[in-house]
Amino acid sequence: MNEQNLPKNTKKEVKETAVPVVSNDPQEVNNDSPPKLKEDTGSKGKTNSNEASKSDIGNDSQSSIQDNGGASLASEPFIDLLYNQIESVIGGENPNQFLCLTLPGQALTAKDFAYDYKNNAEKGPMVEANESRLANKLFDPCRVTGGDNGMTLPYQYRSALDTLTPKLNEKIAKAKNQLRELLLTPYPYDFGDENTKSYTLQEVFYRLYDDYVAAERAWSEKQNKKKEALRKIYPDTSEENNIHYNNEYLQWYEAVARGESLELNEKRAKVLSVFSPNDMDILNGVLDSGSGAELEQAREILENIQRLTPDGGIVYPVKFNPTNWFELLNTSFIPSDLLDSPESLAMRLRNLSSRRITLSSQISNLTNLIDEEDRSKELEKNKNDAENARDALNKAQNELISSYGEGVKTVIDTAFTIAPIFSGGVPSSIISRLASGLKFDKNDQSVDSLVDKITAILSKNQKLQNDYITKSQQLSNVLLEEAINKNLMQLKQLLPPIQEQQERINTEIQEILEKMKVAQTVNSGKETESVQTPIVPEGFTQVLIDVAASQIDKESNNHSSASNSPYGASLWFAGYSGNKETNSSTFAELCHSQNTSVRVGMNVAKVGIEREWFNPGIFVLTKDMFNVSTSRVSPIKDYSEITEERLSDMSRSHILPCYPVAMLVAKDISIQVATSDQLSNTFSATMEEHVSHGGGFLLFSGAKSSSSSFGSSGIHTSSTDKSFNIKITTPQIIGYYLQATPADKSTIMDEISDDEMAAGFVTISKFVEDYKKLLQAMNKNNTEQQN
């Protein structure tokens, strides 16, 4: 990532923790030697020593090398392979951190986080609120999850602080009171007025010490005044004048300094005769020591740092490293990379074409709201023209509809829409894609036969649909004009929304047709696409993975937020629509094919999260605290690394078992499903239909982001006979790095063990009772000494 505008201390932190080493060399994982996720071995990334030593963002990109140990993981679940590949190139060495992948990814929009950091401008309230929502959500302790658990770090942190209270140690209290007794010991003293009065040791010390400090200050002020007086005499700072200035100052200093020094030494000697200032500092340090004050300080910081939003919410500000992370979300794809194939574009036209025909039919029907004798000649003529055009179109389609069923009408409508842009006829591949998924009842019916018949109809009747659309729109305009002239309220209310939607649909259709022209030209003879990202920006690492499609529905053994289950079609669709019967059967067939592979390429980066108000170090001290709740902050057991056992232990209803310390951002995402055989049209059609609704794939979101530079969607598709390709321009968070909270060693209130009693720990009531006795004894002793 670009760090040219970061301060030095931020640069250092980014280099050490926030962003991984850049790798321009792709690290591709195949079925022979992918990375292995060992059981119960922690979640630390494996990078070579050269990579670790060159972690400066500004350095040239370095490729990472992974030791696979020669193991073959051809049967490992896809999600495990992807998890390990990311960890191997972007993980860390902290044994208490682990990556939690989120499914689907969370789409990001750069403008939601942008501010003028270059001129040290403050973040606006909306930016702070967006950052807080992004960074302070909490997740169940797991490696794969469907989203956050609904809790937030500030509230759980406060809850954890409220459940803890310091242990009260009777021995320490007695020892501190002995020091207080020393400081309050009666100490008669004569301060030079020949009147010895009774003071405490502390009072005498600080009065003498104040006199000494005041004398030092007076001597310093006297020197400064002399310097100012001499500078007025010698205002010129030339070398000659400076010599005179220094000589006169030295002469004065030698004349008065000795007397001043003797007076200072006398005052200091009086202080030391009573008590040493260093010893007093030691006593104050002891009296001020003791665990537990951190809890109240943390509560105060949390209370003071929160900011209210206009809608009544509370924002807890955070910082992201690097500071300019939001500038790096734009896609690296260029327009030619994002050209959808004509087949994919045709699938997007299906609903639009059918909707346009439906709206045209509604307009003709609305004409019947005006009695025939009340219609103008112009309106009647336009109505007849539109109906004749519709009848001609229906006549051309009816034979096929009667033979193949109503389902074929959508295919025909779309084919008629596309026909005008192809001088040599609509390509059969487009019609085949449109017809995929249709069910045929007769032996002589097939996609191929349907393609032939639709092609024949188009060659004879190519202009029929355009003629009907044109006549319908003319009728709409005349009908609205007549409704206005005759003040027909119903028509005036019903027609404008139809016209508005017609206009919007026409615009969308025209845009898709223009794209189809370009795609047909550019993609002609195009070689099979690669999932390798176009470039690897600074601060990002390229991740490439190649697996068999059969591994997609493999059950993962990784700890997840829900019960372990095969991902299957639900993972194909990023959890959006995996339960449809058609989808499930289509992808089950695909996954069982030995000749189908799935390739994924993307650029990923780690963005660190800082919170000045959050102090997890408090939980390291829980051994010296009581717990007033039945719930613990985190597991009581100590672990040296992240294992499945530890994740399971952390999941047992703890208040704050872990918290996010970094986000995993992915962009420039490419996915390819490839087969050595021909890819079925049903598969491609299902994928394209999903795309049209903004659905995601695998663990990636397909939501539109305003930071996407091209197109109206965040997903772009293309296909060949043997591959289906997806490019996702939406930058998104696909995971968080979570830090395990230190073990909660606190003792449940009033359950004090024999060892703790031997160490002097007592309950609150016992502590108060003993403390009162100590104070009463001390007051009695002071009274006796004064008398």
Concatenate the DSSP letters of all residues of 3-14 into one string.
Answer: -TTS-HHHHHHI
ω into residue 186 within 30 of 0, thus cis?
no
Give yes or no for residue 744 having a pLDDT over 70: yes
With a CB cutoff of 8 Å and minimum separation 6, the contacts of 449 are none
Give yes or no for residue 177 having a pLDDT over 90: no
Tally the C-alpha atoms within 13 A of residue 782's C-alpha that lie toward its C-beta.
Answer: 17
The amino acid at residue 246 is N
Residues 773, 787: Cα–Cα separation, whole Å:
21
What is the average per-residue pLDDT within 347-372? Answer: 88
* Of 26-30, 212-216, 427-431, minimum mean pLDDT range: 26-30
Name the more confident of 234 and 74: 234
**pLDDT-based confidence at 340, cuts 50/70/90?**
confident
User: Measuring CA to CA, which residue among 739, 717, 736 is closest to residue 726?
Assistant: 717
Q: State the pLDDT at residue 684.
A: 75
Give yes or no for residue 23 having a pLDDT over 70: no
Q: State the pLDDT at residue 189.
A: 87
With a CB cutoff of 8 Å and minimum separation 6, the contacts of 272 are none
**pLDDT-based confidence at 317, cuts 50/70/90?**
very high
* Of 311-325, 349-363, 539-553, minimum mean pLDDT range: 539-553
CA–CA distance from 271 to each of 217, 378, 435 (Å)?
16, 114, 100
Spell 446-485 as b/e; 16+ CB within 10 A means b.
ebeebbebbbebbeebbebbebbbebbbbbbebbbebbee
Pick from 73-82, 548-557, 684-693 the range whose average pLDDT is largest. Answer: 73-82
Angle at Cα 637 formed by Cα 636 and Cα 643, nearest 5°? 125
Q: State the pLDDT at residue 384.
A: 92
Give yes or no for residue 434 having a pLDDT over 50: yes
The per-residue DSSP string of 480-505 comes to HHHHHHTT-HHHHHHHHHHHHHHHHH
**Is residue 307 within a helix (H) or strand (E), and if so which, with residue range?**
strand 307-308
Residues 447, 500: Cα–Cα separation, whole Å:
36
CA dihedral 263, 267, 270, 275 (to 10 degrees): -150
3-class SS letters over 531-553? CCCCCCCCCCEEEEEEEEHHHCC
Token pair for residue 567? 């991902």
CA–CA distance from 337 to each of 9, 107, 520, 599, 728 (Å)?
39, 21, 14, 17, 11
Q: State the pLDDT at residue 118.
A: 92
Token pair for residue 473? 């729109």
Name the more confident of 773 and 499: 499
pLDDT digits (tens, 9 = 90+) for 196-239: 888 888 888 888 899 899 999 999 999 999 899 988 888 888 88
Residues 367, 375: Cα–Cα separation, whole Å:
9
Token pair for residue 750? 């009033």
Residues 129, 137: Cα–Cα separation, whole Å:
12
Give yes or no for residue 85 having a pLDDT over 70: yes
Q: State the pLDDT at residue 523.
A: 65
Q: State the pLDDT at residue 528.
A: 62
Name the more confident of 642 and 674: 642
Q: State the pLDDT at residue 98.
A: 94
| Rounded percentage of the chain residues whose pLDDT exceeds 70 | 75
Name the more confident of 58 and 701: 701
Angle at Cα 257 formed by Cα 255 and Cα 260, nearest 5°? 125
481-487: long-range contacts, CB 8 A cutoff, minimum separation 24: 482/370, 482/375, 482/376, 482/379, 486/370, 486/374
Whether pTM > 0.75 for this model: the answer is: no
Torsion sign, CA atoms 631, 633, 638, 639:
positive
Q: What are phi and psi of 660, to 5 degrees?
A: -75, 135
Q: Mean pLDDT score of the chain, rounded to an integer?
A: 78
Pick from 67-76, 145-154, 543-552, 688-697 the range whose average pLDDT is largest. Answer: 145-154
- 699 and 102 in contact (C-beta within 8 Å)? yes
* Of 52-66, 240-254, 671-685, minimum mean pLDDT range: 52-66
Q: State the pLDDT at residue 588.
A: 57
The amino acid at residue 689 is E
**pLDDT-based confidence at 72, cuts 50/70/90?**
very low
Tally the C-alpha atoms within 13 A of residue 336's C-alpha that lie toward its C-beta.
Answer: 7
Q: State the pLDDT at residue 517.
A: 85
User: Measuring CA to CA, which residue among 767, 604, 638, 652 is closest to residue 86?
Assistant: 604
User: Measuring CA to CA, which residue among 762, 758, 736, 733 is closest to residue 750?
Assistant: 762
Pick from 27-36, 45-54, 260-269, 442-451 the range whose average pLDDT is largest. Answer: 260-269
**pLDDT-based confidence at 36, cuts 50/70/90?**
very low
* Of 303-317, 379-393, 500-514, minimum mean pLDDT range: 303-317
Q: State the pLDDT at residue 168.
A: 67
User: Measuring CA to CA, which residue among 170, 16, 160 is closest to residue 620?
Assistant: 160
Name the more confident of 8 and 593: 593
- 106 and 148 in contact (C-beta within 8 Å)? no
Give yes or no for residue 676 having a pLDDT over 70: yes
What is the average per-residue pLDDT within 613-633? Answer: 89
Token pair for residue 534? 């176009």
